[in-house]
Amino acid sequence: MCTGYSTPVYSHAGRGRFRDVYEPAEDSFLLIDALEIDAQRLQLMSCTDVNPAAAQCTEKTASCNNVSLQPVITDLVECLLSRLSGKVDVLLFNPPYVVTPSEEVGSRGIEAAWAGGKRGREVTDRFLPLVPQLLSPKGLFYLITVAENDPDEIINLLGKHGLKGESCLSTRAGNERLSVLRFHRSQT
């Protein structure tokens, strides 16, 4: 595992004007670990969020860590889809994956960070059909899941759309079994 990277500064998350932002936890750090492993394959990053406070917090986190990015406030990639079609080299998705009642899905506040609805997949299932359209020919897609999301089913589903997937990193966080799934276009 790559150990040349320090933990990003994020002490402002979950406090003060960012109190309604989900503070990074095991899922965030697992995704960072997976990205560190693939660091040489990755270049520039940008981000979107449905929660305006989370987008501002991300911008502050980037600034604290000498990274330049401009978060876009949007539902998934709604306002960017036509511009990004076939051009995304690295796509990261840490969705709300916790199994909750469907009524909790769709918030624009802190609940949007975890409320995944039925099987914890309601938001993920809205996004997955967009992934093959977004990825460039050499694109990589990273997705955080828990066991209740049925990661094998997600791998099979995207496989039917020309993407090869695998679980590249897993860990246990409390009673959750977290996995980072990594996808790329199948070589035909």
User: Angle at the Cα of 147 (from 145 to 150), degrees rounded to 5?
Assistant: 80
Residue 130, CA distances (Å) to 79, 85, 146 in order: 13, 9, 21
Residue 3 confidence (pLDDT): 47
Residue 170 confidence (pLDDT): 93
Task: Tell how many helices (H) and how many strands (E) occur in the chain.
Answer: 6, 6
Q: Kindly write down the DSSP assignment for every residue of 103-171, as one continuous string.
A: GGTT-SSGGGGTB--GGG-HHHHHHGGGHHHHEEEEEEEEEEEEGGG-HHHHHHHHHTTTEEEEEEEEE
Residue 41 confidence (pLDDT): 55
Residue 152 confidence (pLDDT): 97
pTM: 0.76
Residue 165 confidence (pLDDT): 97
Rounded-to-integer distance, Cα 12 and Cα 17, Å: 9
* Domains of the chain, start order: 26-43+75-185 (3.40.50.150)
Per this entry, what is the length of the chain? 188
Provide the 3-class DSSP secondary structure of residue 142. Answer: strand
Report the chain (188 residues): mean pLDDT per 10 consecutive residues. Answer: 62 82 78 71 69 88 79 89 91 93 88 92 97 95 96 97 95 91 88
